[in-house]
Amino acid sequence: MRKGGQNASDARLVEELLKRAKILVPAKIEKIKATWLLSGDIGAPVWETRNGGREELVDGKWEKTINVYFDALMSDGTRLCSPENKLILDTVQVWAYSLRAKWTGSSLGPRRWLDTVRWGINLASWVLLHKNRFAPKEEAFKYFDKNAAQQLLSELALGGWCEALQFIPRSLVHLYTEAFGECPGEELISSPYELPESVKEKISEYLVRNGAYVDNGGGMSVSRRYFSDVLGASLTSFKSDSFRVFARQFEPGLDHPHLLLESCLDTVFPSQNTPLKIDVINRMVSEETLSAHAGCLEKFLLGRSFLPERYASGSFDVELIHAGLKSIVRRSGHHNLLPLSTGLSVLNAVVTWVFSCGDAIVEAAVYVVGKYEKIRRSNCGAAEAEVQKEKAVSFAVENWKIKSADGSDLESLKEKFGLMPLNKRVKREEIYKSPSFYLILQALVGACALSIAIMKPSRDEEIQRLKRNCLARGSGLLEGYWLDYELGKSGESGLNRSDKKPIPFLTAKAISLLQKLGEKLSVFYGDETAHAVDLFYFPSGATLHRPSDSNLGGRINSCIDVFCDFSETPLDEYGRRWYVRFHELRKFFLIMFFWDGKYHVLDAVRWMAGHTQAEHTYAYIEANMPGEELSRIEAEYVDERLIMLERNEISRGGNEGLVALYDCVCEHFGVRSIEGVRGEEYLCFLEELRADNKYSVKPYSIFSRDGGGEVSGIEIAVKFLGAKDEKYNDI
């Protein structure tokens, strides 16, 4: 009886809540108004909305807002705001409004809301692509049922919106028809990435005749606006790697036998993150991406509550469809790991630049910038100004000298680097043979940034936020140098707390160089902005103008790239160079420190990494504890070795421990190749084996072949149960 009474009470409560909801949510939405909607209405091509308090009203115009552009090109060549698409547009906008108003039960931030609405606009384009089936102009999404959802998510799993909206086959049909006057055969459509040379040549000729090429600075590429007009899609739709591989066939200056190159490189070589074309062609979307698509679809279907006549009758379980597709998507969240040898090579180069070249470059920079600012204030003619600037640089590079290990002068900066005149223009691959003074300064800033990141595990924002007074000197038991910084992860109330950590002399020296540079330059520039007291304060561009904190992270990364090119970090077999980033060095520091001291340094690692809690066990459970982070990093390095073994890049002989571990992994997952199972479950299995002491890892040094005893690299040896790698016993 009690149970029945409770059920009746619950039913009445639900009924009352539904009544209140009906009062709050109008049955029909024809005109909209909300505090977050700054401009726009049902039928408007643009909605201007608030950006979580970041928006600003400047001279009567809103800036930094979140805007939705509804007048998008559709797959049938029309625009969403065309009169014939009124029903579709109204449906999308009513849904978008109800989503932002939280009537659907979902609570999204402005940026997430924008991304979700853009997804809905793509869905509108998809039903128009199949308009004979869905009749969207007359019925909106009425025929978008379970089967349609299954088809859409399957296509999105294969290659995102590029696959679902058929960008590649539609582009090929158009280009071939225009070039040859007939439709391509099925054999070409089924192999769009392997077109015969004769076909590529003929299509390229057609594109030239129609002015479809643009110069992006790195070579001629087919204008994405051309494809946008042809396919009826926004310009941003063509960022897909698979579409870029297809388009590269008509962009010979950008094509590469193996790599999918960027249209314009800012570095001498492609970076380690430049994908292989074969990987792109065969790559499904990630599990995370598919989940995002499924989530957007679920949110879109919530619009049925407001316009039921424009949605399919009856509901279906999107999550069930999503679950059935998880087996075909890319599960690996694996990122490239900084090779241990490359990390040590970078550290050696950093030491040379900071101790040998640092003082000379900073003093020369202070002299040159001081002269530049005087020249600017003198209002002399442009020609005379260039002559005086040239003299200032020449004097500086000839008179400041780099230092030897004992502090004595060696050669001048000009003798060391062969500096070029200011107005000389050279090809990108030749700029390091005779670099400009600004490139030398950039390289030093990059070296200083890396000296902080490689010797003190730091997040990107922690380094970018460093103030010029961040260096402290301890005494007594705390003697040495300390870094005062703001933690990258926020604490209570969303505030970032400050912390102090010990740093080696190398890092302290690098910081002192940046301090000297910033102190002098901020005075020369007369800078009173907040950026004037930041540690990373260096000239903007080769003209050595006053810097701002705009895109400071990007500017620091550019300096690191220049440093890596100067230091000639190793190239891989495809000609890619490793351009280091802070997060990679953070992992490198943590794993090297841990491997050196194992469990005895876990708490020190936790402290140095800026975490707040720790336990003296290897297998940490909490996400903010370093044990889990170390365990995962170690598993990632072991994964690298297992993949190299599978690809025959290292021999099975002498690596018996690694082979035994590989066989165990294959047996556990019931596979012959681990490439297909790499993902969260796979890495967790490696971590579990490690936590159970089934295998262990030890790093070992690789010595140069010239017999000089110099360490040229570092690798890891594995012991699995009773099997050991040959090098494991040498440690």
Q: Are 280 and 243 in contact (CB under 8 A)?
A: no
- HSE value, Cβ hemisphere, 13 Å, CA-based, for 342: 21
Question: Which range has the top average pLDDT, 80-84, 263-267, 405-409, 673-677?
Answer: 80-84
Number of Cβ within a 10 Å radius of residue 667: 9
Q: Is the dihedral of CA 489, 494, 499, 505 positive or negative?
A: positive
Q: Name the β-bridge partners of 306.
A: none
Q: Mean pLDDT, to the nearest integer, of 608-625?
A: 34
Burial class (CB in 10 A: 0-12, 13-18, 19+), 191: exposed
9 pLDDT above the threshold of 70: no
Q: What is the largest CA-CA distance in the chain?
A: 99
Q: In one letter, which amino acid is 468?
A: R
CA distances, 97 to each of 49, 53, 303 (Å): 11, 19, 10
Nearest alpha carbon to residue 582 among 568, 561, 597: 561
Q: Are 119 and 296 in contact (CB under 8 A)?
A: yes
Question: Which range has the top average pLDDT, 143-152, 244-253, 398-407, 647-656?
Answer: 143-152
CA distances, 76 to each of 92, 127, 131 (Å): 17, 10, 9
Place of tokens 């504890």: 625
Q: Poorest-confidence range of 5-19, 188-202, 625-639, 657-671?
A: 5-19
Burial class (CB in 10 A: 0-12, 13-18, 19+), 146: middle
- Virtual CA dihedral for 381, 382, 385, 386, nearest 10 degrees? -150
CA distances, 339 to each of 182, 201, 275, 502 (Å): 51, 41, 17, 26
Number of Cβ within a 10 Å radius of residue 269: 22
SS (H, E, C) 185-211: CHHHHCCCCCCCHHHHHHHHHHHHHCC
The pLDDT tens digits of the residues spanning 308-362 come to 999 998 889 999 999 998 878 876 555 567 887 888 888 889 999 999 999 999 9
- Model pLDDT, residue 491: 40
Nearest alpha carbon to residue 326 among 40, 77, 680: 680
Chain CA centroid to CA 432, Å: 27
Task: For the chain, give the mean pLDDT.
Answer: 83
The pLDDT tens digits of the residues spanning 12-65 come to 555 554 444 443 445 456 677 899 999 999 999 999 999 988 888 888 899 989
Residues 6+ apart with CB under 8 A from 663: none
450 pLDDT above the threshold of 90: yes
Question: Which range has the top average pLDDT, 142-151, 277-286, 302-311?
Answer: 142-151
Q: In one letter, which amino acid is 242?
A: S
